[in-house]
Amino acid sequence: MGFKMGIVGLPNVGKSTLFNALTRTAAAQAANFPFCTIEPNVGEVAVPDARLDALAGIASSKQVIPTRMTFVDIAGLVKGASKGEGLGNQFLANIREVDAIAHVLRCFEDGDVTHVEGRVDPVADAETIETELMLADIESIEKRLQNILRKVRGGDKEAVQQERLMRAALEALEAGQPARVVAVDEEDAKAWKMLQLLTTKPVLYVCNVGEAEAAVGNAHAAKVAEMAAKQGNAHVIISAQIEEEISQLEPDEAEMFLEEMGLSEAGLDRLIRAGYELLHLETYFTVGPKEARAWTIRQGTTAPKAAGVIHGDFEKGFIRAETIAYEDFVSLGGENAAKDAGKMRAEGKSYVVKDGDVLHFLFNT
């Protein structure tokens, strides 16, 4: 399990350039005109994790298989999208399918690249996108409320629950707040998710700055950071232009280029890490001579559920998980040494997997 992040933004903010760089493809046509991305482009990238390489080296694994992350480059949004302006309807349908939203915001000055609103104001751009998503949610809720009234009058428990949640969301939206501000009980979590409201998606603001500002950002990025902090959202600073250049280089050359630019890591690494934090994800590993592999799970996942990520039979027939902490595996030099040192634990069904755990599952077939 990885996760799917939709890359959204107004036309000409650099989102397709970023998508091309991140997926190392030219599938998304990056051009200086609105709606150059007509269909959502989907690309998968390996999630970089130095721990996986370290584990594979110790175990002499023949294969190294990282976990995957999916990026979806979605057609450019404009004001009025909720009413069908531009490619609005298509945009809104595609965005329902992602786990999180990356708002790419133009934080660079460039007279050669036109802005659809004729100015550079990333905070206003973010507000435009959020407003369109909120308007679309309001319209969706109002239609659905009309359709379930008969069931509610008939005492249908599921319909009563849906109505209650939709009215809570509508109250927030009409007050100018996204639906994600609504506090939802655990018993309502599944029904809430089934509503598929656009403004319940976690948000990561991506500040696209010029090459010279990639290391420290600029005044535009600082305003976005302030906005994100007030909202409780996350932000990262990236130069799509630099990412595009890095994507064309060999690993050694890319590392040298990053050093010259004063950057300690590629923007992809920062973006993925921020995405993991946003969605409360973590990684566990399976390691052996055949392969070393990374697996993505949500924080708080129990051992049987983690096993189920590999195969459903692992979860159904779960017996126990032989567990070694990453630090112990590396410092002691592998599974056998960790076992001899008493650092391998047998964990049962209630064990909550920790980030970096090296696991071996035992199960009944």
What tokens appear for 186 in the block?
């655990």
d(CA 60, CA 58): 6
In the predicted model, is pLDDT for residue 149 greater than 80? Answer: yes
> Residue type for 90, please?
Q
Residue 324: strand pairing partners: 358
- Whether residue 292 is contained in a domain is answered as no
Least confident of 179-193, 197-211, 247-261, 298-312: 247-261
Domain residues for the domain of 103 are 4-278
Name 233's Cβ contacts closer than 8 Å, sequence gap at least 6. Answer: 202, 203, 204, 205
Confidence band of 33 (pLDDT split at 50, 70, 90):
very low
How much is the mean pLDDT over the chain? 86
Assess whether 177 and 228 both reside in one domain. Answer: yes
Q: Give residue 304's pLDDT.
A: 97
- Compare 169 and 94 and report the one with higher pLDDT: 169
Chain centre distance of CA 167: 28
- Whether residue 305 is contained in a domain is answered as yes
Query: Which CATH number does the domain housing residue 324 bear?
Result: 3.10.20.30
> Residue type for 292, please?
A
Q: Give residue 313's pLDDT.
A: 92
Helices (H), the chain: 15-23, 50-59, 88-95, 122-153, 157-174, 189-194, 219-231, 240-247, 251-260, 267-278, 303-310, 312-316, 326-332, 335-340
In the predicted model, is pLDDT for residue 29 greater than 50? Answer: no
Assess whether 184 and 324 both reside in one domain. Answer: no
pLDDT in tens, 106-132: 998 876 555 555 678 999 999 988 988
d(CA 95, CA 352): 31
pLDDT in tens, 152-193: 888 889 999 999 999 999 999 999 999 999 999 999 999 999
Assess whether 123 and 49 both reside in one domain. Answer: yes
d(CA 105, CA 120): 9
Assess whether 356 and 214 both reside in one domain. Answer: no
- 18-22, 38-42, 47-51, 338-342 — most confident range: 338-342
Query: Which CATH number does the domain housing residue 97 bear?
Result: 3.40.50.300
What tokens appear for 262 in the block?
């004063």
- Compare 236 and 12 and report the one with higher pLDDT: 236
Confidence band of 30 (pLDDT split at 50, 70, 90):
very low
Q: Which of 224, 246, 278 is the last residue of a domain?
A: 278
Overall domain count for the chain: 2
Q: Give residue 24's pLDDT.
A: 67
Q: Give residue 88's pLDDT.
A: 47
- Whether residue 293 is contained in a domain is answered as no
Q: Which of 246, 278, 310 is the last residue of a domain?
A: 278
Assess whether 247 and 321 both reside in one domain. Answer: no
Average pLDDT over residues 358-362: 96
- Compare 154 and 75 and report the one with higher pLDDT: 154
d(CA 286, CA 61): 11
Assess whether 213 and 330 both reside in one domain. Answer: no
What tokens appear for 178 in the block?
């996204």
Confidence band of 37 (pLDDT split at 50, 70, 90):
very low
Assess whether 22 and 141 both reside in one domain. Answer: yes
In the predicted model, is pLDDT for residue 222 greater than 60? Answer: yes
* 211 phi, psi to nearest 5 deg: -55, -45
Helices (H), 96-153: 122-153
Assess whether 179 and 312 both reside in one domain. Answer: no
Average pLDDT over residues 283-310: 96
